[in-house]
Amino acid sequence: MPDVSPDIDLIRSRLLAWYDAHARSLPWRAAVGAPRTEPYRVWLSEVMLQQTTVPHATPYFHAFTTRWPTVSDLAAAEDAEVMGAWAGLGYYARARNLLACARAVAGEHGGVFPDTEAALLALPGVGAYTAAAVASIAFDRAANVVDGNVERVMARLFAVETPVPAARPELKRLASLFVTDERPGDWAQALMDLGATVCRPKSPSCGTCSVASECLGLATGDPARFPMKTKKADRPHRRGAAYVLIDDQGRVAVETRPEKGLLGGMLGLPTSDWATGEPIAAAPVEADWREAGAVEHVFTHFSLTLTVMTARVDADGDYRWMPIEAARAALPTVFAKALDRASVPDLFG
């Protein structure tokens, strides 16, 4: 981060003034200066917006609040009705949490949402972000409301060079510098609006941004590169061999892989080690080996080229011998591919 610091008070006053003039009109939002939105509507909208965008969430919000105007109405609904109304909004786990929370508010708090961040956080399915958002927007509590949008704005305002996710605690700390008892709900919503409409992920509209003079990211000439991302390490490539041994009854040799390590405890074909250099250890038994080509497979941490070697042998006690089709069904994908590659009928030609 550069030595100079943005002026926190100036950013607050400019952004709040911008919000007073340009706040988005949202169905769950009270107009600037109007009485605060009731907590039920704030909470419901925040849960929906974790799944989707404002335009997609809006009809769902209207449908829910028409059908269940209060949290107690929602708490009394049948599970299946709520799940049905949620269809199209994504993870049903969130709908189940929504119901659990509504029932906790109705059952344990007399149908009234608690008004502190800590008490909100204690409700089922309410995480740090939602608790802070409801506390600030519905109850005007000084709470640090930090989601991906706010992280992006902070990373740009302060030109934070540390990549995410490592930068997250720092971005949260920077966001907390702006949280005061003065208009905390409006501040949270002003930041949300800035992230959604001006300081957008790909093309920030710095020319219209009310806090541009204080933005260190803009001063670098390339604000969109913040927040920095951790580069994904290139996946290393390994090579190895898989051995398809077929006995005179047309069965294939398989073995259980060691418990520890890749595909641990699963069924496998005999293999060489899989190494990043040139392979390949000697075959596991003396035989008239033929090379049947290679298969490619991508694991999470490396990619693999597996040369497939085939031979007919007499069954021995070192391996389990399985009918080909049973083995193909039981083997993990990489070995099933190798078995297919071995073109087993050719071995009997």
Nearer to ligand SF4, 39 or 217 (CB): 217
Nearer to ligand SF4, 7 or 273 (CB): 7
> Which of helix, strand or coil describes residue 125?
coil
How many binding residues for ligand SF4 (CB under 6 A)?
15
Which x/- pattern over 180-199 shows residues binding ligand SF4 (rule: CB under 6 A)? ------------------xx
Q: Which of residues 219-258 bind ligand SF4 (CB under 6 A)?
A: 223
CA distance 89 to 57: 8
Q: Tell me which amino acid residue 178 is.
A: F
- Which residue in 14, 29, 41, 156 binds ligand SF4 (CB under 6 A)? 156
- Which residue in 217, 227, 268, 270 binds ligand SF4 (CB under 6 A)? 217
CA distance 42 to 189: 11
CA distance 136 to 122: 16
User: Do 338 and 274 contact (CB within 8 A), yes or no?
Assistant: no
Q: Which residues contact 27 (CB under 8 A, 6 or more apart)?
A: 45, 58, 61, 62
> Which of helix, strand or coil describes residue 341?
helix
Q: What is the DSSP letter of 276?
A: S
Longest dimension (CA), the chain: 87
Helices assigned H by DSSP within 23-127: 39-49, 54-67, 71-75, 79-86, 92-108, 117-121
Say how many C-beta atoms besides its own lie within 10 A of residue 250's C-beta.
14
- Which residue in 98, 99, 218, 342 binds ligand SF4 (CB under 6 A)? 218
Total length of the chain = 349
Q: Does 126 bind ligand SF4 (CB under 6 A)?
A: no
Applying CB under 6 A, the span of 103-111, 213-221, 295-303, 313-321 interacting with ligand SF4 comes to: 213-221
Nearer to ligand SF4, 188 or 209 (CB): 209
Q: How far is the CB of 77 from ligand SF4 (least distance, A)?
A: 41
Say how many C-beta atoms besides its own lie within 10 A of residue 17's C-beta.
12
- Which residue in 137, 157, 244, 295 binds ligand SF4 (CB under 6 A)? 157
Applying CB under 6 A, the span of 176-184, 200-208, 263-271, 281-289 interacting with ligand SF4 comes to: 200-208
Applying CB under 6 A, the span of 57-65, 152-160, 184-192, 306-314 interacting with ligand SF4 comes to: 152-160
- Which residue in 204, 227, 268, 270 binds ligand SF4 (CB under 6 A)? 204
Q: Which residues are catalytic?
A: 46
Nearer to ligand SF4, 153 or 292 (CB): 153
Cis peptide before 227 (omega within 30 of 0): yes
Applying CB under 6 A, the span of 38-46, 215-223, 292-300, 307-315 interacting with ligand SF4 comes to: 215-223
Nearer to ligand SF4, 105 or 199 (CB): 199
Q: How far is the CB of 217 from ligand SF4 (least distance, A)?
A: 5
CA distance 329 to 252: 12
HSE-CB at 43 with a 13 A cutoff on CA atoms is 30
List interacting residues with ligand SF4 (CB under 6 A). 153, 156-157, 198-199, 204-206, 209, 211-212, 215, 217-218, 223
